């Protein structure tokens, strides 16, 4: 049904407009942690902002491809000022494993888009040796594990601690953890009293990479950053940010049945952590301040655009001012031109193309001014000064736009309000460039016969395509109606895929990856085939579901025992003979469950 709705949406959008959607310039990028730990898998993601199918990538010696590429794609559409644009992204994800510590160069990858080949830049990776001192206090045999302040903490890192008023300071929140399974539960940030704040990174794209602190290895991630602009001088204190973390910790209990390890060998612990207060020393701006200084701090350029300097009375005159740079640009005031007597002025049109990047707010703001001359003659719009404070230089800078000379000839004597139907200046809405108000608007023209025929053909073709899509979708809907059954049908194929990966890992002598693939393949298969969510995949649920499908006691026992043994084997590698037996047992369970009657 979802696909059917997509067909409907596609047809409606196409009928509304036959415009070709724009596509940005093709960009091919790679995302990979710069620091990793030997023996622990990590991800490499190649992304291209276009539709692509094939990628060429060869891992260097010492880095092994454990899995991949996994291909995913996404698309989006936006409409800005009536202009429609679309974008599409294709991602190729590899899982790699570093065999030993050292420095590696990730070579370029190649992808083909519309017949053209694109390449990524090579990337350097530092691999640390496995840290042997990573044990967390698990307590005694019957006590709960604990987390020390050294194992898990967070810091607020200021880009500067001494700034001027209105000068940007970036606060970066960085998490350090010696624990692998760490998640955020709740968090709260301070109100940043005395500052104007802009969020630069909300943490949605954060990822962990290895980092050494005082000789110890941590998983570190920058997950939130803000850019602050102090509004007053003095020592301003940024209060602590508070976080509640959830950590999955292994439980050590020698009295527990070893075969229960697969189901309940982890405990979730909650740990509250917070940052230390950060003090920012804010210096006042130098005195005396220039007369035309309006509060802009940063580095800026100011430009002026005048489409025409020769016009007629009752014609629109346009002057566009563009302020570009970095700093408190959103708070800066764009200077206004002083129009001569006899020019009727109207509300300006503003646009803002700024964003928070690189620890500052940067971009362009524009202001378009409109005026209509009422008298003939030569007029001068005075020079326009703009003064800002440059914190890097510690001094004020002034940009002066030259004066603008305008010549006005006699136009038609028709009153502007009579032509436009407006009774006063406040009713004027965003006049365009060089709009001639004396000329009446042309009547809308009808489509000629050629265009009419073309549109008719397109409409008929779309209707036919819609009918075909409906027929196809109904057949697919009947086949895909039961999501659980569809997942069950795919379970065997996915299980065989993981068995193949496990076979390859066994031949390479990669015990950990071998057991991981077997465990993943078998647990996912049972979850899908027996319609049991992974979170509820217990011994009891497995036994109940298998018996409902007519499984023998031997098959039920073999499935549960194989899962438990695989979980234990991840941490206590088995002998060669037992390794091979586990592979055969997993394959046997998959084959046996595959033959059961579904429900």
The domains located in the chain, with CATH, are 23-128 (2.60.40.10), 152-283 (2.60.40), 293-427 (2.60.40), 483-594 (1.20.120)
CA atoms within 13 A on the CB side of 125: 29
Residue 553 to residue 468: CA distance in whole angstroms: 50
Residue 337 to residue 316: CA distance in whole angstroms: 15
CA atoms within 13 A on the CB side of 347: 9
The dihedral region occupied by 192, where left means phi > 0, alpha psi between -120 and 50, and beta the remainder, is: left
Identify the three-state secondary structure at position 64: strand
CB 121 within 8 Å of CB 67: no
pLDDT of 425: 41
Residue 330 to residue 327: CA distance in whole angstroms: 8
Distance between first and last Cα of the chain: 23
pLDDT of 528: 85
With residue 80 as reference, give the H or E element that holds it.
Answer: strand 63-80
Q: What parts of the chain have a pLDDT lower than 70?
A: 1-24, 76-86, 130-146, 180, 249-266, 413-455, 473, 475-489, 570-577, 597-599
pLDDT of 83: 53
pLDDT of 429: 39
In 275-342, beta strands by DSSP E: 278-283, 293-305, 310-312, 317-327
Residue 77 to residue 66: CA distance in whole angstroms: 35
pLDDT of 432: 39
pLDDT of 95: 86
Please give the radius of gyration of the chain, using alpha carbons only, rounded to the nearest integer: 34
Residue 98 to residue 268: CA distance in whole angstroms: 29
């Amino acid at each position: 049904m979802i696909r059917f709705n997509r067909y409907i949406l596609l047809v409606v959008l196409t009928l509304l407009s036959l415009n070709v959607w724009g596509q940005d310039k093709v960009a091919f990028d790679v995302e990979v942690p710069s620091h990793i730990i030997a023996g622990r898998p990590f991800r490499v993601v190649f992304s291209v902002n276009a539709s692509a199918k094939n990628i060429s990538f060869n891992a260097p010696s010492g880095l092994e491809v454990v899995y991949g590429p996994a291909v995913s794609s996404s698309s989006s559409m936006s409409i800005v000022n009536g202009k429609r644009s679309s974008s599409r992204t294709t991602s190729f994800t590899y899982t790699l494993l570093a065999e030993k510590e050292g420095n590696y160069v990730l070579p370029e990858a190649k992808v083909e888009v519309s017949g053209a080949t694109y390449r990524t830049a090579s990337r350097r990776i530092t691999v640390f040796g496995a840290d042997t001192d990573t044990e967390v206090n698990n307590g005694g045999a019957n006590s709960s594990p604990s987390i020390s302040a050294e194992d898990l903490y967070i810091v607020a890192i200021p880009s500067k601690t001494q700034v001027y008023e209105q000068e940007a300071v970036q606060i970066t929140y960085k998490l350090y953890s010696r624990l692998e399974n760490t998640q955020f539960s709740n968090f709260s940030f301070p109100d940043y009293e005395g500052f104007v704040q802009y969020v630069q990174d909300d943490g949605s794209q954060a990822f962990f990479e290895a980092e050494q602190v005082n000789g110890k290895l941590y998983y570190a991630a920058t997950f939130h950053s803000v850019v602050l602009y102090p509004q007053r001088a003095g020592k301003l204190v940024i209060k602590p940010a508070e976080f509640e973390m959830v950590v999955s910790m292994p439980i050590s209990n020698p009295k527990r049945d070893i075969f229960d390890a697969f189901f309940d060998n982890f405990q979730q612990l909650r740990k509250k952590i917070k940052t230390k207060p950060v003090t920012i020393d804010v210096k006042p701006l130098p005195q005396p301040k220039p007369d035309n200084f309006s509060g802009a701090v940063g580095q800026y350029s100011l430009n002026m655009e005048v489409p025409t300097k020769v016009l007629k009375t009752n014609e629109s005159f346009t002057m566009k001012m563009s302020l570009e740079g970095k700093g408190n640009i959103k708070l800066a005031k764009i200077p206004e031109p002083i129009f001569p007597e006899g020019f009727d002025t109207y509300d300006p049109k503003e646009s803002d193309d700024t964003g928070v990047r690189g620890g500052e707010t940067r971009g362009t703001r524009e202001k378009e001014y409109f005026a209509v001359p009422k008298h003939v003659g030569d007029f001068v719009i005075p020079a326009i000064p703009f003064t800002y404070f440059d914190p890097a230089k510690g001094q004020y800078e002034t940009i002066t736009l030259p004066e603008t000379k305008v010549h006005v000839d006699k136009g038609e004597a028709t009153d502007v309000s009579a032509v436009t139907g407006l009774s006063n200046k406040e009713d004027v809405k965003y006049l365009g460039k060089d709009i001639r108000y004396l000329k009446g608007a042309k009547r809308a023209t009808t489509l000629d016969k050629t265009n009419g025929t073309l549109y008719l053909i397109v409409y008929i073709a779309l209707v036919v395509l819609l009918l075909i899509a409906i027929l196809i979708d109904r057949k697919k809907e009947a086949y895909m109606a039961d999501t659980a059954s569809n997942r069950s049908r795919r379970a065997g194929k996915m299980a065989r895929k993981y068995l193949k990966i496990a076979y390859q890992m066994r031949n390479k002598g990669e015990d950990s990856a071998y057991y991981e693939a077997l465990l993943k393949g078998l647990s996912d298969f049972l979850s899908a085939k027996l319609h049991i969510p992974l979170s509820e995949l217990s011994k009891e649920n497995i036994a109940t579901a298998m018996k409902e499908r007519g499984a023998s006691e031997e098959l039920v026992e073999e499935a549960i025992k194989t899962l438990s043994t695989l979980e234990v084997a991840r941490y206590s590698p088995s002998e060669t003979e037992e390794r091979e037996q586990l592979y055969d047992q997993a394959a046997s369970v998959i084959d046996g469950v595959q033959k059961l009657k579904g429900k």
